[in-house]
Structure 1
């Protein structure tokens, strides 16, 4: 599903600038395949944002 969505619009991984990003959710759910796919298909340009001022790094460290 991630491949299909990213093929349609590669900028999806850059959204939102504030709020909870797809990368944050993938890491929170411990789904490395989705996280890696988002990173690779976005060319490394993606949103790391999460709720309450946290980001993907915060959740990754907790995992």
Structure 2
């Protein structure tokens, strides 16, 4: 996913075609991956499971 600023507004683009834009949930915003890193690790590792919990704010 990426966002580009064109003609006075931001546009969300999925170049992979794996998700429709209305189905996207923004989890982090930054200039690059280092700004929004969700995990830091050292050495060998394997990600076994990952989940996202969402709560509606009224």
Find the structure with the greater CA-based Rg.
Answer: 2
Q: Looking at both structures, which has the greater relative contact order when contacts are Cα pairs under 8 Å and sequence separation is at least 6?
A: 1
Give the TM-score, by structure 2 length. 0.19
Structure with the largest fraction of strand: 2
More helix by share: 1
